[in-house]
């Protein structure tokens, strides 16, 4: 596995990669959900590239950024076991040599759902994804459906800017009790972990948004939103733990 720790080094190597390239952008703290994206990429492409970069411009709360898990050694070991070809590890100064002066802004859907509760979150997401797509120049890029709003925004950004890449959505990987796999789950204490699956249960079993909201509140969860749109029911809650709070999101298809 080729681990590249700088953009200049990556650019000098990218030209030598022939054939189709699959790309999985991540912020590290990898889990089975990320592994499923890598496996899909390896099945569909000649080479697979994974980036690990915790992007500060998409965090609306500095404390949330400070608490984001960092497990680089374990991440690299997992990626090597999965047969990843290249891992890109850029730095902030390389990604944002302009200090985030130039950015990508979407003016409609990015202000709904998570965007209504996290100021400028999707501006940071779309900006860093566009930069990474330009650096990696993949054939296909893989996103998990847990962040379905993110997937839709990235897909539409690629279309808007005529980028020659397929944006592929991959199914949510869940624990046995329904909890969507997330890097943030490691911050749940025992009591919060017991309650966390109620998010998926309410979204998937309720007859409408109002019932899902009622069910979540009955379990004592701090609900940010429950909204059905784009053929899915989306929800976000704050899980309170001994060390603060952990924000969880999920969505289910509504037939």
Considering the domain boundaries, does residue 34 fall inside one? yes
Considering the domain boundaries, does residue 175 fall inside one? no
How many structural domains compose the chain?
A: 2
Same-domain pairing of 127 and 18: yes
List, for residues 72-113, the tens digit of each pLDDT value. Answer: 999 999 999 999 999 999 999 999 999 999 999 999 999 999
Same-domain pairing of 95 and 61: yes
List, for residues 41-76, the tens digit of each pLDDT value. Answer: 999 999 999 999 999 999 998 989 999 999 999 999
CATH of the domain at 187: 3.30.1300.10
CATH of the domain at 113: 3.40.50.620
Q: Parallel, antiparallel, or unpaired: how do β-strands 232-241 and 222-229 relate? A: antiparallel
Residues of the chain with pLDDT under 70: none
Whether this prediction's pTM lies above 0.95 is answered by: yes
- Domain span at residue 216 reads 183-248
Query: Packing angle between helix 121-136 and helix 148-160, nearest 10 degrees?
Result: 60
Considering the domain boundaries, does residue 177 fall inside one? no
Same-domain pairing of 208 and 96: no
Of the residues 170, 201, 233, which one is the last residue of a structural domain? 170
Same-domain pairing of 134 and 62: yes
Same-domain pairing of 126 and 209: no
Torsion region of 137: left, alpha or beta (phi above 0 gives left; psi -120 to 50 gives alpha): left
Considering the domain boundaries, does residue 178 fall inside one? no
Same-domain pairing of 148 and 223: no
In whole angstroms, give the CA distance from residue 132 to residue 154: 12
Indicate the burial class of 190 (C-beta count within 10 angstroms; 0-12, 13-18, 19 or more): exposed
Considering the domain boundaries, does residue 57 fall inside one? yes
Same-domain pairing of 166 and 202: no
Would you state the pLDDT for residue 196?
A: 98
Same-domain pairing of 162 and 208: no
Catalytic residues: 34
């Amino acid at each position: 596995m080729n681990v590249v720790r700088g953009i200049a080094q990556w650019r000098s190597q990218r030209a030598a990669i022939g054939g189709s390239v699959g790309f999985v952008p991540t912020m590290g703290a990898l889990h089975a959900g990320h592994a499923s994206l890598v496996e899909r990429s390896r099945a569909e492409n000649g080479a697979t590239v994974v980036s690990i970069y915790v992007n500060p411009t998409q965090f609306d709360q500095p404390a949330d950024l400070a608490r984001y898990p960092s497990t680089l050694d374990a991440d690299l070991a997992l990626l090597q076991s999965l047969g990843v070809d290249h891992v890109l590890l850029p730095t902030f100064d390389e990604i944002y040599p302009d200090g985030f002066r130039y950015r990508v802004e979407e003016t409609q859907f990015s202000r709904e759902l998570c965007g209504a509760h996290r100021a400028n979150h999707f501006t940071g997401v779309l900006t860093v994804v566009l930069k990474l797509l330009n650096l990696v120049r993949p054939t296909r890029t893989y996103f998990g459906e847990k962040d379905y709003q993110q997937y839709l925004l990235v897909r539409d950004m690629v279309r808007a800017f005529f980028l020659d890449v397929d944006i592929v959505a991959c199914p949510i990987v869940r624990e046995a009790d329904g909890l969507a796999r997330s890097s943030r789950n490691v911050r749940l204490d025992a009591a919060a972990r017991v309650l966390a699956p109620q998010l998926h249960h309410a979204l998937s079993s309720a007859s409408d948004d109002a019932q899902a909201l009622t069910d979540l509140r009955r379990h004592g969860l701090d609900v940010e939103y429950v909204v059905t749109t784009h053929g899915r029911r989306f929800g976000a809650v704050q899980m309170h733990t001994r060390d603060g709070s952990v924000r969880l999101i999920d969505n289910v298809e509504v037939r």
